[in-house]
Amino acid sequence: MKKVLLVLLLVLLFLSVPTLRSFAAPVIDPVGEKLAMLVEPLVVKVRTPFLEWRAKDETRAIVHLLRDQEALGLALPRTREFQDWLQRRYRANPDGLDPWGLPYYVKYTEAGAVVGSGGPDLLPNTADDITDTLPRRLR
Protein backbone atom coordinates (compact mmCIF):
# COMPACT_ATOMS: atom_id res chain seq x y z
CA MET A 1 0.00 0.00 0.00
CA LYS A 2 2.86 2.37 0.84
CA LYS A 3 4.40 1.75 -2.59
CA VAL A 4 1.16 2.67 -4.34
CA LEU A 5 0.89 5.88 -2.35
CA LEU A 6 4.54 6.72 -3.12
CA VAL A 7 4.00 6.18 -6.86
CA LEU A 8 0.83 8.27 -6.75
CA LEU A 9 2.66 11.04 -4.90
CA LEU A 10 5.47 11.02 -7.48
CA VAL A 11 2.99 11.16 -10.36
CA LEU A 12 1.18 14.10 -8.75
CA LEU A 13 4.51 15.85 -8.17
CA PHE A 14 5.49 15.40 -11.81
CA LEU A 15 2.10 16.66 -12.97
CA SER A 16 2.08 19.71 -10.70
CA VAL A 17 5.53 21.09 -11.61
CA PRO A 18 5.62 22.31 -15.24
CA THR A 19 9.29 21.49 -15.89
CA LEU A 20 8.89 18.00 -14.44
CA ARG A 21 5.61 17.53 -16.34
CA SER A 22 7.30 18.22 -19.70
CA PHE A 23 10.04 15.75 -18.77
CA ALA A 24 7.56 13.02 -17.73
CA ALA A 25 4.93 13.60 -20.44
CA PRO A 26 6.38 11.11 -22.98
CA VAL A 27 6.07 8.36 -20.35
CA ILE A 28 2.85 9.38 -18.58
CA ASP A 29 0.70 10.40 -21.59
CA PRO A 30 0.58 6.94 -23.28
CA VAL A 31 -0.20 5.27 -19.96
CA GLY A 32 -2.94 7.82 -19.24
CA GLU A 33 -4.47 7.31 -22.69
CA LYS A 34 -4.52 3.52 -22.25
CA LEU A 35 -6.06 3.87 -18.81
CA ALA A 36 -8.70 6.27 -20.14
CA MET A 37 -9.57 3.82 -22.94
CA LEU A 38 -10.04 1.05 -20.39
CA VAL A 39 -12.12 3.09 -17.94
CA GLU A 40 -14.29 5.06 -20.39
CA PRO A 41 -16.77 2.25 -21.24
CA LEU A 42 -17.34 1.61 -17.55
CA VAL A 43 -17.89 5.30 -16.82
CA VAL A 44 -20.36 5.59 -19.71
CA LYS A 45 -22.21 2.47 -18.55
CA VAL A 46 -22.58 3.82 -15.01
CA ARG A 47 -23.30 7.43 -16.00
CA THR A 48 -25.91 6.87 -18.74
CA PRO A 49 -28.82 5.79 -16.48
CA PHE A 50 -28.33 8.90 -14.34
CA LEU A 51 -28.34 11.16 -17.40
CA GLU A 52 -31.44 9.41 -18.76
CA TRP A 53 -33.22 9.89 -15.43
CA ARG A 54 -32.32 13.60 -15.43
CA ALA A 55 -33.52 14.05 -19.02
CA LYS A 56 -36.81 12.29 -18.21
CA ASP A 57 -37.29 14.53 -15.17
CA GLU A 58 -36.52 17.67 -17.17
CA THR A 59 -38.78 16.78 -20.13
CA ARG A 60 -41.60 16.21 -17.61
CA ALA A 61 -40.92 19.62 -16.03
CA ILE A 62 -40.88 21.31 -19.45
CA VAL A 63 -44.23 19.72 -20.32
CA HIS A 64 -45.61 21.17 -17.07
CA LEU A 65 -44.39 24.62 -18.16
CA LEU A 66 -46.16 24.16 -21.50
CA ARG A 67 -49.31 23.07 -19.65
CA ASP A 68 -49.13 26.21 -17.48
CA GLN A 69 -48.70 28.36 -20.59
CA GLU A 70 -51.72 26.75 -22.19
CA ALA A 71 -53.80 27.09 -19.00
CA LEU A 72 -53.12 30.84 -19.02
CA GLY A 73 -54.58 30.98 -22.53
CA LEU A 74 -51.19 31.78 -24.08
CA ALA A 75 -50.01 30.23 -27.32
CA LEU A 76 -47.42 27.48 -27.10
CA PRO A 77 -44.00 28.43 -28.47
CA ARG A 78 -43.33 27.65 -32.11
CA THR A 79 -40.70 25.03 -32.80
CA ARG A 80 -38.11 27.57 -33.94
CA GLU A 81 -38.80 29.77 -30.87
CA PHE A 82 -38.75 26.89 -28.39
CA GLN A 83 -35.15 27.28 -27.21
CA ASP A 84 -35.57 31.00 -26.50
CA TRP A 85 -38.84 30.33 -24.69
CA LEU A 86 -37.25 27.51 -22.69
CA GLN A 87 -34.28 29.66 -21.65
CA ARG A 88 -36.66 32.34 -20.37
CA ARG A 89 -39.11 30.01 -18.62
CA TYR A 90 -37.17 27.02 -17.30
CA ARG A 91 -35.17 28.41 -14.40
CA ALA A 92 -33.87 25.01 -13.25
CA ASN A 93 -31.91 24.69 -16.51
CA PRO A 94 -31.59 28.15 -18.07
CA ASP A 95 -29.33 27.01 -20.90
CA GLY A 96 -32.09 24.73 -22.22
CA LEU A 97 -29.69 21.84 -22.81
CA ASP A 98 -30.20 18.18 -22.02
CA PRO A 99 -27.69 16.22 -19.89
CA TRP A 100 -25.63 15.46 -23.01
CA GLY A 101 -25.30 19.16 -23.83
CA LEU A 102 -27.79 19.26 -26.71
CA PRO A 103 -30.88 21.49 -26.90
CA TYR A 104 -34.22 20.05 -25.88
CA TYR A 105 -36.68 20.05 -28.76
CA VAL A 106 -40.41 20.29 -29.22
CA LYS A 107 -42.49 18.94 -32.05
CA TYR A 108 -46.22 19.23 -32.48
CA THR A 109 -48.14 16.13 -33.53
CA GLU A 110 -51.76 15.04 -33.64
CA ALA A 111 -51.28 13.68 -30.10
CA GLY A 112 -49.96 16.98 -28.75
CA ALA A 113 -46.68 18.72 -27.98
CA VAL A 114 -43.78 16.28 -27.67
CA VAL A 115 -40.78 17.56 -25.71
CA GLY A 116 -37.63 15.56 -26.20
CA SER A 117 -33.95 15.01 -25.62
CA GLY A 118 -31.75 13.36 -28.24
CA GLY A 119 -30.68 10.84 -25.63
CA PRO A 120 -27.42 8.92 -25.34
CA ASP A 121 -26.83 8.66 -29.10
CA LEU A 122 -26.96 12.50 -29.29
CA LEU A 123 -29.37 12.41 -32.24
CA PRO A 124 -32.94 13.71 -32.08
CA ASN A 125 -35.83 11.64 -33.45
CA THR A 126 -34.23 8.23 -32.86
CA ALA A 127 -35.34 5.26 -30.77
CA ASP A 128 -33.37 6.27 -27.67
CA ASP A 129 -34.87 9.75 -27.40
CA ILE A 130 -36.32 10.65 -24.04
CA THR A 131 -39.70 12.32 -24.51
CA ASP A 132 -42.80 13.46 -22.69
CA THR A 133 -46.03 14.66 -24.27
CA LEU A 134 -48.51 17.38 -23.47
CA PRO A 135 -51.74 15.90 -24.84
CA ARG A 136 -53.69 18.04 -27.27
CA ARG A 137 -56.63 19.71 -25.58
CA LEU A 138 -60.09 18.83 -26.81
CA ARG A 139 -61.79 21.99 -27.94
Q: Mind giving me the DSSP string for 17-59?
A: SHHHHHHHHHHHHHHHHHHHHHHHHHHHHHHHHHHHHHHHHHH
pLDDT at residue 37 in the model: 75
Gap between the Cα atoms of 81 and 3, Å rounded: 59
Q: Which ranges constitute the DSSP H helices of 72-106?
A: 82-89
Note the pLDDT tens digit of each residue in 27-83: 666 766 776 677 778 777 888 999 999 999 999 999 999 999 999 999 999 999 999
pLDDT at residue 64 in the model: 97
Where is pLDDT greater, at 85 or 137? 85
Rounded average pLDDT over 22-28 = 67
Rounded average pLDDT over 8-30 = 67
Residue 87 to residues 60, 70, 91, 94, 129, Cα–Cα distance (Å): 16, 18, 7, 5, 21
Q: Look over the chain and give the mean of its residue pLDDT values, rounded to a whole number.
A: 86
Q: With bands split at pLDDT 50, 70 and 90, how would you rate the model's confidence at 1?
A: confident
Instruction: State percent of the chain over pLDDT 70.
Output: 81
pLDDT at residue 21 in the model: 64
Residue 18 to residues 9, 22, 24, 67, 85, Cα–Cα distance (Å): 16, 6, 10, 55, 46
pLDDT at residue 62 in the model: 97
Q: Who's near 137: CB < 8 A, 6+ residues apart?
A: 70
Residue 66 to residues 56, 62, 76, 105, Cα–Cα distance (Å): 15, 6, 7, 13
